[in-house]
Amino acid sequence: MAERRVRLRDVADTVGITERAAQRIVRDLVEAGYIERERIGRRNQYKINPNSPMRHAAQQEHEIGELLNLLVPDPPSKPAQAGPRRLAS
């Protein structure tokens, strides 16, 4: 999901689980330090901690951010901007 402000209910629908199950998963991830929760108004906003180590013993030397970098393509680079243009007189 590329959407940055998506509701947890929509995430649950997208992956085919109940909203309650999604809430439990998010709570577990917050408690384990994989994501951070910030209350903004009436909503929670979540941020991934990319420096968290992977859970499985075979991948513990790797961080979550490494996996995310493989899954999310780099944004297109902006073309180099030339300096200010001057009009010929």
User: Is 83 part of any domain?
Assistant: no
Please state the domain count of the chain. Answer: 1
Beta bridge partners of 45: 38
Structure-token pair, residue 18: 């109940």
Closest Cα partner for 38 from 49, 52, 51?
49
Interval 19-57: pLDDT, tens: 999 999 999 999 999 999 999 898 889 999 999 998 888
Residue 49: what are its φ and ψ, rounded to 5°?
-95, 100
Q: How confident is the model at residue 89 (pLDDT cuts 50, 70, 90)?
A: very low
> Which residues form the domain of 43?
8-70
Quick one: how many helices (H) and strands (E) in the chain? 3, 2
Q: How confident is the model at residue 5 (pLDDT cuts 50, 70, 90)?
A: confident
